[in-house]
Chains A and B, each alone.
Chain A
Amino acid sequence: IAGITQAPTSQILAAGRRMTLRCTQDMRHNAMYWYRQDLGLGLRLIHYSNTAGTTGKGEVPDGYSVSRANTDDFPLTLASAVPSQTSVYFCASSEGQGGGEAFFGQGTRLTVV
Chain B
Amino acid sequence: GQNIDQPTEMTATEGAIVQINCTYQTSGFNGLFWYQQHAGEAPTFLSYNVLDGLEEKGRFSSFLSRSKGYSYLLLKELQMKDSASYLCAATDSNYQLIWGAGTKLIIKP
Using A41-B101, A42-B101, A42-B102 as known contacts, say yes or no to A97 and B95 having CB atoms under 8 A apart. Answer: yes
A-B Cβ contacts below 8 A, count: 50
- How many residues of A sit at the interface, in one of the four size bands? 20 to 34
In the complex, the answer to whether A98 meets B97 with C-beta atoms within 8 Å is yes
- Chain A 20-46 interface 0/1 with B at a Cβ cutoff of 8 Å (1 = within): 000000000000000100001111110
- How many residues of B sit at the interface, in one of the four size bands? 20 to 34
In the complex, the answer to whether A101 meets B45 with C-beta atoms within 8 Å is yes
Using A99-B31, A102-B45 as known contacts, say yes or no to A40 and B96 having CB atoms under 8 A apart. Answer: no
- List 13 A-B residue pairs with CB atoms under 8 Å apart, sorted by A's residue number: A40-B101, A42-B100, A43-B87, A43-B89, A45-B97, A48-B96, A98-B30, A98-B96, A99-B91, A101-B45, A102-B33, A105-B42, A107-B41
